[in-house]
């Protein structure tokens, strides 16, 4: 039986085939996390001739640069990117996701919004029937932690501060337990109205159009119906 790390490597290899379908001189967005780290290593070893990569975090930027891959900033773009590729902490049948386990959710959502298409790469453990088992990451202005926590408790959540974590934008992360995210789009919009929240980890407005899912029997494709 393959380990989770081996499944991550499998889906990273499958993602290379998606990238080979792109015109060579394009820029793509790249997410953050251990599965994306595998992808970046595959991009470097396969010597894909893409024009550049927009990083969703300082971690990803350093990984790309360390392997000699050209990093491009969003303000250098003249048009939306063809593709953004990233992992997820959870993904449901409609390809809405929970993201932010790596504390990069705000930049991930921004970079995803700058691409025409989102391809999610995960192993089969991330597939769920409904979002909410994984605690929902929310980036919060640090001075607003107390009132934001009260608002989340009123919605039925149990927020806990992610100790020792400061985001790339200098803010804090609350991980919210106990939410039943039955309507991801409605939940995303509702959370966006709470003052002090910088970004919540529900990706419904920036949901994936395609998920590549690695399992013991290979990599399968899940597309938006």
Tell me: do 108 and 50 sit in the same domain: yes
Per-residue pLDDT tens digits for 42-78: 999 998 889 999 999 999 999 999 999 999 999 999 9
Q: Cite the active site residues.
A: 108
- Average pLDDT value for the chain: 96
CATH number at residue 217: 3.40.50.1360
pLDDT of amino acid 225: 67
Alpha helices in the chain (DSSP H): 4-20, 34-46, 58-66, 105-113, 145-154, 184-192
Tell me: do 177 and 211 sit in the same domain: no
Pairing of strands 27-30, 52-55: parallel
Tell me: do 84 and 103 sit in the same domain: yes
Tell me: do 18 and 44 sit in the same domain: yes
Tell me: do 219 and 122 sit in the same domain: yes
Summarize the confidence of residues 11-33 as an average pLDDT. Answer: 94
pLDDT of amino acid 49: 84
**Which tokens go with 197?**
């929240």
Examine the pLDDT at 168 and tell me if it is beyond 70.
yes
Domain that holds residue 164: 136-200
- Number of folded domains in the chain? 2
C-alpha 61/C-alpha 187 separation (Å) is 30
- Predicted TM-score (pTM) above 0.85: yes
State the Cα angle at 106 between 103 and 109, rounded to 5°: 120
Per-residue pLDDT tens digits for 81-128: 999 999 999 999 999 999 999 999 999 999 999 999 999 999 999 999
């Amino acid at each position: 039986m393959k380990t989770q790390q081996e499944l991550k490597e499998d889906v990273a290899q499958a993602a290379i085939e998606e990238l080979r379908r792109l015109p060579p001189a394009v820029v793509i967005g790249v997410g953050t996390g251990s599965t994306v780290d595998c992808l970046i290593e595959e991009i470097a070893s396969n010597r894909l001739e893409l024009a550049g990569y927009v990083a969703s975090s300082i971690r990803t930027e350093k990984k790309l640069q360390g392997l000699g891959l050209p990093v491009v900033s969003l303000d250098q773009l003249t048009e939306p990117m063809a593709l953004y590729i990233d992992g997820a902490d959870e993904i449901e049948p409609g390809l809405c996701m929970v993201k932010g386990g790596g504390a990069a959710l705000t930049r991930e959502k921004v970079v995803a919004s700058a691409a025409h298409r989102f391809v999610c790469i995960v192993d089969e453990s991330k597939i769920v029937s409904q979002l909410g088992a994984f605690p929902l990451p929310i980036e919060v202005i640090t001075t607003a932690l107390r009132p934001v926590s009260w608002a989340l408790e009123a919605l039925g959540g149990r927020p806990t501060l992610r100790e020792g974590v400061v985001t790339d934008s200098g803010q804090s992360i609350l991980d919210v337990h106990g939410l039943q995210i039955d309507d991801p789009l409605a939940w995303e919009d509702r959370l966006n109205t709470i003052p002090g929240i910088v970004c919540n980890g529900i990706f419904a407005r920036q949901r994936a159009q395609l998920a590549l899912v690695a399992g013991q029997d290979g990599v399968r494709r899940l597309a938006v119906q």
